[in-house]
Amino acid sequence: MRRVIKFVLVFAVLCASGPQAWANSYSDAIKAFSNAGESGKFFKTAYGYALFPTIGKAGFVIGGAYGEGKVFVGAKHVGNTTMTQLSVGAQWGGQAYSQIIFFQNEQAFKDFTSGNFEFSAQASAVAITAGASAEASTGGGTAAGISGGRNDAATVSGGYRKGMAVFTIATGGLMFEAALGGQKFTYTPL
């Protein structure tokens, strides 16, 4: 079992560090989310946000994901963050995606930077750069996204839940999943 978990996590890191990921800079991700429907509106009103230009994810019954990002308050870079995820359920394949988490206020920012787990339920289907996803989490977020790639992504959100709003855009891969997972975020201030 440990070998399977180790393999899945290594594969997820490789997905995040492949050639597709190298092309995904922070400015490209910000531009994509700014032009992707509802997520663009949050840049004007949010206290801050955590941006992950590329998260790599892989799974076969047991799955894992990993990504590195930056945390901003307003437009100022205030720290760095990582996301690791372990999931179990009906899933197979690998994918890369971009994710942004908006903080409604200072308390939501403090909650995020405390590094607590957030458990979530996910369902997604991604083929190369076309994808559709939905997510609901006990930590407070609901989100949905669809894309044929970064340039034509559309995002939808149920608004802030517990001070956070989460959006994702598929950037590549082939993955199908309906799984339960736990995400862990770490934060390192500058």
160 band by pLDDT with thresholds 50, 70 and 90: confident
For the segment 12-39, what is each residue's pLDDT rounded down to a tens digit? 555 544 444 444 489 999 999 999 878 8
For the segment 101-158, what is each residue's pLDDT rounded down to a tens digit? 999 999 999 999 986 656 565 555 544 444 444 444 444 444 444 444 554 455 555 6
Q: Are 67 and 26 in contact (CB under 8 A)?
A: no
Q: How far apart (Å, rounded) are the C-alpha atoms in residues 1 and 48? A: 39
